[in-house]
Structure 1
Amino acid sequence: MNREELVKQIFAKKSFLCVGLDVDLKKIPEPLLKEEDPIFAFNKMVIHATAPYCVAYKPNLAFYECYGIKGMMAFEHTIEYLKTSYPTHFIIADAKRGDIGNTSTMYARTFFEEYNVDALTVAPYMGEDSVKPFLVYEDKWVILLALTSNKGSHDFQLTEDKDGTRLFEKVLSKSQEWGNDQNMMYVVGATQGKMFEDIRKVAPNHFLLVPGVGAQGGSLQEVCTYGMIKDCGLLVNSSRGILYPCDKTSCDLHTYATQVAQKAQELQQEMETELKKL
């Protein structure tokens, strides 16, 4: 999916919501555990409930790889289901890959050829040759880690050199020599707040994938105030805040799915309000 197509979906749906498919079998409704593929069954329920309110889905590979072959089959089935039943939704594999060039080439082949997702999260810290293999695919996106939402982001990402340039700013500026705003996005945590102003000084036109709204306490309004651009330029992710709206034993499947939809719709309505300000 190219940028024009993504932007078209955002304004058609009045949403820039990305739903994170981070499935924890300890939290999903108990009746689904009886299914042959409970992860996929849960994902189908969530996708059906949230599709009208979001433009993207982001399965996190850690939540599939931890279950071995069965987990990876669930991941593959989820991607196939999205591409067949919801082909206009943007699919991000949150895998945070990145290695020496020939290894990155194989990672790129895995996600852009075998699974044929739209985008992949990539760690930038091994430099140009670890990122470029992902950028050779037409209408595919690399989403580089830039300024993340976790507490430990301060350990390295905010460190300054002798000129006062912070490490995340170096990542932003240097990586623009490898890709552009048509094939590269950046991960910026919602908890960074006003720091989005600094991000936009270095990367004024790139899309930003923004985790940390909801369970991690990031403010959607603050993200939009400092990070939104004329064609939106944001994909805001929510995972736990949508996936687990009630205790797995306290409501039946219909009620559970309804509450999942309500959580997604609430965020979509907030996003519609922000888009109207453009």
Structure 2
Amino acid sequence: MTSSDIFAEIQKKKSFLCVGLDPVMEKIPRQLLREEDPVFSFNKAIIDATIDQAVAYKPNLAFYEALGPGGWETLQKTLDYLPSEVFTIADAKRGDIGNTSTLYAKAFFEQMDFDALTVAPYMGEDSVRPFLGFDGKWVVILALTSNQGSQDFQMIEDPNGMPLYAAVLEKSREWGTTQNTMYVVGATRGSHIQSVREIVPDHFLLVPGVGAQGGSLEEVAKFGMNSQCGLLVNSSRGILYASSGTDFALAAKKEAQSLQIAMEELLSKYLA
């Protein structure tokens, strides 16, 4: 999938919404627990409810690995159920050296056929480059995350005043292209998104932290949108658990529709 393909879906749906498929067994509506595969039944209902608004879906692998071997089967069934036109991201945060990275890439890009994979760049170029050797596949590099602990390392400045996250962006943009590399950039501070855009103006950004973590969608668009939108804004808990009752899918749809309406306005405002 190319950046033009992603942008075409954004234009079609007037949305840059990514839905995080992070199911917690304890939060799945009770009526689904009678199903043969409750997590897949939940995911399927969420996908059906949000497919008109979402251009991407991002399962976090931890929520499936925690279920043991059956969790991997559920993940594959979920991936197979998703329409081919939506962008699929394996949020696995892999990153190792040499043939280990190559095997991780084969697992997610060849065996499971995800479009993209999140990768931690801490070990440097030789831990990321193996993921870049697959046509039509994307590496989503962790750059500036939205969690509280991001301050521990990502904001450390070198003698010239450059924070570590900026150094990661500066260096890693040499490894790939705007057609195979994206960046995770948290939404919690708009000024940081602006500084990211100064370094990588044309790359897509995967942006968590809007909603439950307090990030502003307006600020994300103001500072982060480029001529191809360049944004995939993720929402997980706000959509998945909008209701815990029998109306959970309808509530998820309403939340996704609310985000889509806001995104349509922002697309009109900043891409006009």
**TM-score bracket, shorter-length normalisation:** over 0.9
Q: 1:14 maps to what in 2?
A: 14
Amino acid at match of 2:113: N
Name the residue aligned to 1:156: 153
1:261 matched to which residue of 2? 253
- CA–CA distance in 1 between the matches of 2:98 and 2:260? 39
Q: 2: distance between equivalents of 1:68 and 1:41?
A: 17
Q: What's 2:162 paired with? A: 165
Task: For 1:34 and 1:214, locate their aligned partners in 2 and report how far apart those are by CA, in whole Å.
Answer: 31
Per-residue deviation, 1:238: 0.1
Gaps of at least 5 residues in structure 2 are: none
> Is 2:188 aligned against 1:197?
no
Amino acid at match of 1:260: A
Alignment of 1:34-183 (within 5 A): 34-82=34-82, 86-183=83-180
Q: Which stretches of structure 1, 4 residues or more, deviate above 3 A after TM superposition?
A: none
* Number of equivalences: 270
Structure-2 separation of matches of 1:32 and 1:26: 11
Q: What is the CA distance between 1:192 and its match in structure 2?
A: 2.4
Look up the equivalent residue of 1:268 and give its one-letter code. Answer: Q
* Counterpart residue identity of residue 252, structure 2: V
Shift of 1:4: 0.9
Give the fraction of aligned pairs with identical amino acids, expressed as a percent.
59
CA separation in 2, counterparts of 1:188 and 1:256? 29
Could you say which residue in structure 2 is the equivalent of 1:234?
Answer: 231
**In structure 1, C-alpha distance between the alignment counterparts of 2:168 and 2:241, rounded to whole Å:** 34
Give the TM-score, by structure 2 length.
Answer: 0.98
CA distance in 2, matches of 1:268, 1:127: 37
2:264 maps to 1:272: yes
Q: Which residue of 2 aligns with 1:24?
A: 24
CA distance in 2 between counterparts of 1:80 and 1:201 reads 37
SS of equivalent residue, structure 1 residue 237? strand
Tell me, in whole angstroms, the C-alpha distance in 2 between the residues paired with 1:257 and 1:227: 30
RMSD: 0.7
Q: For residues 229-259 of structure 1, what are the alpha-carbon distances to aligned partners after superposition, in whole Å with 9 as ceiling and x for unaligned?
A: 111000000000000012x2xx32xx22111
The one-letter code matched in structure 2 to 1:148 is: T
Task: Give the Cα separation in 2 of the matches to 1:28 and 1:194.
Answer: 36
| TM-score (ref. length: structure 1) | 0.96
